[in-house]
Structure formats: C-alpha cells, structure tokens
Amino acid sequence: MAQHKSAEKRNRQNIVRKTRNNDIRSRMRTAVKAARAAIADQAENKDALVKKALSEISRAASKNVLKKTTAGRYMSRLMRASVAK
C-alpha cells in the first residue's frame, strides 16, 4: 500500500504502462501467430501477414516492450521461415 503521494502516482503510472505494454505484446503475438499459420498453410496472403507481423514486432521493440535483440531474433526467424517455404 502506497504511503506517499508520489508512491500513489507511481502505482497509477505502473498500471497504465502495464496495460499499454500488454496490449502491444498481445497485438504482436497475434500477428506473429497469424503469419506463422499462413506460412505453414502456404496461404496467398502470407506476405501481407508477415509484413504486418514484422511491423508489430518493430513497434514493440521501439516502445521497449521487447528488447531490440529479441525483436531482431523474432524478425529473422519469421523472414527465414517465409522465404524457406
């Protein structure tokens, strides 16, 4: 339980940021899952879904929801999978 006004404000900020980060992370994971499914099924819109997933990964990295190296690894694996199949 926060005892000071500054601690109460910090708790409010943490709640807002956690909510925002979870939303960004969820959008990214959904896009990556859709792209992987399209790659596996050889769907016609595979390239568009991969592009959207890469965009979501970049957005998450730019907002520090993901580390830059983690985002790079996700992007690299996704690109390799889309080219290989």
Number of domains the chain contains = 1
- 42 sits in the region (left: phi over 0; alpha: psi -120 to 50; else beta) called left
**Quick check: is 69 in a domain?**
yes
**Quick check: is 33 in a domain?**
yes
**Quick check: is 3 in a domain?**
no
Q: For 20-77, how does the pLDDT look when each residue is reduced to its tens digit (9 = 90+)?
A: 999 999 999 999 999 999 999 999 999 999 999 999 999 999 999 999 999 999 999 9
Cβ 50 vs Cβ 35: under 8 Å: yes
User: Which pLDDT score, from 0 to 100, does residue 85 have?
Assistant: 59
What CATH number is attached to the domain comprising 21? Answer: 1.20.58.110
Q: For 55-70, how does the pLDDT look when each residue is reduced to its tens digit (9 = 90+)?
A: 999 999 999 999 999 9
- Residue with tokens 């994971």, as numbered in its chain: 29
Task: Supply angle C-alpha 58, 64, 67, rounded to 5.
Answer: 75
Residue 1 has pLDDT above 90, yes or no: no
Q: Which residue has the higher pLDDT, 16 or 1?
A: 16
Q: What does pTM read for this prediction?
A: 0.89
Q: How far apart are CA 3 and CA 56, in angstroms?
A: 38
**Quick check: is 56 in a domain?**
yes
**Quick check: is 57 in a domain?**
yes
